Amino acid sequence: MTKQHKTHLLIGGNLGDRKSNLESARRLIGQRIGTLVKSSSLYETQPWGKPDQPDFLNQALEVATDLKPEEVLKAVLTIEKELGRQREDKWSARTIDIDILFYDAKVLNNKDLTLPHPHLHERNFALVPMLEIAPNKQHPVFKKSIEELYEASKDDLEVVMLDDVEPEETKK
């Protein structure tokens, strides 16, 4: 029997029907990568790195998978392409973006994949949804929990929860 691994993904997008794009990404992730164990609320977030574009919708997912990290990456890239992702400039607007934040407690750095995600600790749009589903998850490099990384974050961009009847603001 193959060992189940726990991977945390961040899905997001700021073009087209953002909610529908995230729903499609979740469905395809469930079909091709593994079982969705937990999903955060949806968060509307200001664009990071390139501010002159529409706001993003983001969501963190915990997925149980039999796939190896490289196979998860291959599946993610295929899903992005199928959902209309065009890779242009870094941080440009996109229909869908799927980042692998963690794969178990694996540390990996090669030309195709860096685990954990190298910028996770700098980005509230990733930390806030992760805070909801895995606040005590330990970063294997920094040896800090998601909660501790969020508390130390210098990112001041707004992250607003959308799932509640009255959206809550989550700000630093």
Render pLDDT for 24-42 as a digit per residue (tens, 0 to 9).
999 999 999 999 999 999 9
pLDDT digits (tens, 9 = 90+) for 82-134: 998 777 666 678 889 999 999 999 999 999 999 999 999 999 999 999 999 99
Record the pTM: 0.91
Task: Report the pLDDT value the prediction gives residue 165, as an integer from 0 to 100.
Answer: 36
Give me the sign of the Cα torsion angle 113, 81, 124, 91: positive
Task: Report the pLDDT value the prediction gives residue 50, as an integer from 0 to 100.
Answer: 75
Catalytic residue among 97, 112, 123, 155: 97
Q: Is 87 a catalytic residue?
A: no
What value does the mean pLDDT of the chain take?
90
Task: Report the pLDDT value the prediction gives residue 84, as an integer from 0 to 100.
Answer: 83
- Residue 159 or residue 1, greater confidence: 159
Catalytic residue among 99, 112, 155, 163: 99
Catalytic residue among 94, 112, 123, 156: 94
Which of helix, strand or coil describes residue 68? coil
Q: Is 112 a catalytic residue?
A: no
Catalytic residue among 18, 85, 123, 155: 85
Q: Give dist(CA 162, CA 15) in Å, integer.
A: 17
What are the residues whose beta carbons fall under 8 Å from the beta carbon of 120, sequence distance 6 or more? 101, 126, 127, 130, 139, 149
Q: Is 94 a catalytic residue?
A: yes
Q: Which residue has the tokens 């990290």?
A: 69
Indicate whether 167 pLDDT > 60: no
